Structure 1
Amino acid sequence: MITDYPMPAGFAVLTVILLLLTLLPLSRIKHWLVRGLGFPRLQLAVLSALLLLMQVAMLDISRAGSAVMILLTLACLFIQLWWIWPYTRLHRTEVALSKTADPGLDTISILTANVLMTNRNAATLTGLIKQHQPDVLVTLESDLWWQQQLDQLSSSYPYSIKCPLDNLYGMHVYSRLPLHNVAIQFLVQPDVPSMHAEVELQSGQRVVLHFVHPAPPAPTENESSAERDAELLVLAGSVAQCRQPLIVSGDLNDVAWSETTRLFRKLSGLLDPRIGRGMFNSFHAGYPFIRWPLDHLFHSKHFSVQQILRLPNIGSDHFPLLMRLCLEGKTSAEQTVALEADDLELVADDLAEQAVTPDQVHRPERTTGTPVA
């Protein structure tokens, strides 16, 4: 055993740092630096495990100080694993697997791709589209240049919603299937759009679609997560009132296991098909050891899942994500999270801070209109 002073002192410093990195994200501090600490929970779990092994091997565990350090490190490891384990195969699935893998009249496939506005590798994305032939393509960070490239798909994807912007928040939707009752909204920030529509499946059944890309808490964006949180929660409050089949997809600039995303799921009642199947880390495409799930698809209880794929790198900092769902009618699926008493108070505070309410969100299922070309 190594029992001289410098080594335990070094372990003490590392343990305190790890403890801060673990506990700060559990607070309600909205500063970008604190909220960002909730992203690398997998990486922090690995670091916790390594530190724990080193402490057990190198410290004199008969000493009270060493025992305390080991227990604190073990607690940090447990906390990190508690947040991420639903997104491992050790957890039960939240959404059932479809009984058939064949596409049918009541299936829908959505490919979501944050293209990175400055990326000019459109050919790789269009190649993936031709290979997988999704029913709906959603692009984020797409500007006018990207629109011109994607418009070449118009013969196969005749229905579209377009909002080209050069501020990293442009958004486009291209669909093989008819789109109805479309709206582009700027719910929280005047330069950050969201898109809302109904898509008509081959069977004639309509599915409500909401696509979002809220601005993240970051030093170059918003100092706090207040704007992002409000956009997610105001949408959650709106879709909770919908009884039709419904899908929400996009780059949420938040990880699947964060408090805000969990609160979004609780309030909306939507399901996450990744639970029990894997993390499907979509960011950062360029750094294998720094990845977490930022791109999401949530859906109502009407669907089972046929396929979830993280597609190859397209030159962006995000991997595209492809999901195929089957409309089953209302299933027996249940959320793995439950709305608690203080959740509604937290939601009310976040929405009041940004002066937004759920009734401001466009509800396509309440609108009568013609298909959009």
Structure 2
Amino acid sequence: MVMSANERLFYHVLIRILFVAVIAGSLISLLAEQFWVAELFTHFRLYYLLLQALLVLIFLHTGRHTLMALTILFAMPNAWVAGPYLIPVYGGQRATAKAATSIDIVALNVNYRNDGFARVAGYLRERDPDIIVIAEYTPAWRDELEFLRKSHPYQFGEVRPDPWGLAVFSRLPFMESELIDLADTDTVHARFVFAAGMMSLEVFAVHLLPPKSAVWARNRNLQLENLVDQLGASTHQRIVIGDLNLTPFSPYFSRFIERTGLQDARRVDGFHVTWPVSVFPVWIPIDHALADPEVNITSVHAGPDVGSDHFPLEIRVSKGVNKQPGQVRAVFE
């Protein structure tokens, strides 16, 4: 197929625009700890990396070696951060059927403005997990999820008319349970402990503030700091689940992982996006399952579209101890 001069000019300009845009996004991402807006660019590092791989092939084919070298150079920070999440997509081991020795957990931000109650209820009835964490738990959602009181008799939470209500429903009895407010931000989070075989698991179910302004971003980071302190006081094996409103590509996520000694359990099954539920391909993973290395999480993946702006996060935890934890747990002084 022979392209016209106008078509060649169009693709030439398009490729140059893409080249400049991806480099700009990559550079701005490096300033994430200096400017709150710059952190928003870090969430798309995987997309930058994929586009840079495409540009390398185009420049290699067209003999644009200088542009190819520049693309590779600016791709390196993205590859360092986002690249590891591509490996399990092909090599990860997925647990399929539920075993009697496993515990299924679903964490779902239902969206407090969402009135698609039937879809969420149908999904929860079909999946029937052992533990359910509902974020943005409103009076309307309390009424529509009333059926969980029979199937999951152990429950606690707080109803709110705003996005900061949260509830936990469980088939398993709690050894401990309480609601917590991270960093005095007037938000609801949950801490609970339950027995999983021969060990006890302490779960922090959280919904952190979205970084939609400098103040909100700073308060979200304070919530992370407070959560680090609470995790450091734990005497159990620990799991953090919920909507953290940041991706694994943010430096604040990396710092949180480093300070707590937790591992990103998402890597068991590879890269799974949870927000937003949209036809436009700008999906990012802001709902997380983080755990101590000794906690044997065998599966983490996104569930189906249930009418919210988030996909559910489905987590499977084995009751057995992970015999190859990969690293020791951090010690807090």
Q: Which TM-score applies when normalising by structure 2?
A: 0.85
Q: Among all aligned residue pairs of Structure 1 and Structure 2, give the percentage whose two residues are the same amino acid.
A: 23
Aligned equivalent of 1:366: none
1:129-148 equivalence runs, <5 A: 129-148=124-143
Aligned equivalent of 2:37: 33
Corresponding position: 1:260 with 2:252: yes
Deviations 1:76-96 (A, max 9, x none): 2332222112222359989x8
Distance 1:206 1:28, change over 3 A: same
Indicate the SS of the match to 2:264: coil
User: Which of 55, 69, 73 does residue 71 from structure 2 map onto?
Assistant: 73
Q: CA RMSD in A?
A: 3.4
Moved more, 119-128 or 182-191: 182-191
CA contact (8 A) 1:25 1:34 kept: yes
User: Which of 189, 199, 205 does residue 211 from structure 1 map onto?
Assistant: 205
Counterpart CA distance in 2 for 1:93 and 1:14 is 31
For structure 1, which runs of at least 5 residues remain unmatched after alignment? 62-66, 340-357, 360-373
Corresponding position: 1:42 with 2:36: no
Indicate the SS of the match to 1:263: helix
User: CA shift at 1:117, angstroms?
Assistant: 1.0
Counterpart CA distance in 1 for 2:71 and 2:285 is 25
User: CA shift at 1:332, angstroms?
Assistant: 2.8
Aligned equivalent of 1:116: 111
CA contact (8 A) 2:88 2:271 kept: no
User: Which of 280, 297, 304 does residue 312 from structure 1 map onto?
Assistant: 304
Distance 1:99 1:89, change over 3 A: same
Aligned equivalent of 1:300: 292
CA contact (8 A) 2:33 2:251 kept: no
Counterpart CA distance in 1 for 2:269 and 2:244 is 20
Aligned equivalent of 2:87: 89
User: Which fold has the larger relative contact order, with Cα–Cα distance below 8 Å and residues 6 or more apart in sequence?
Assistant: 1
Aligned equivalent of 1:162: 157
User: CA shift at 1:125, angstroms?
Assistant: 1.7
Deviations 1:40-89 (A, max 9, x none): 1222223223333444445654xxxxx1x332212223322221122223
Aligned equivalent of 2:227: 235
Counterpart CA distance in 2 for 1:176 and 1:210 is 17
CA contact (8 A) 1:113 1:139 kept: yes
Structure with greater proportional helix content: 2
User: Which of 97, 100, 103 does residue 103 from structure 1 map onto?
Assistant: 100
Q: How many residues align?
A: 326
CA contact (8 A) 1:109 1:323 kept: yes
Deviations 1:112-164 (A, max 9, x none): 00111111112222222222221110011121111111122101111112212
User: CA shift at 1:189, angstroms?
Assistant: 4.3
Indicate the SS of the match to 1:188: helix
Corresponding position: 1:22 with 2:16: no
Q: Which TM-score applies when normalising by structure 1?
A: 0.76
Counterpart CA distance in 2 for 1:11 and 1:309 is 34
CA contact (8 A) 1:88 1:276 kept: no
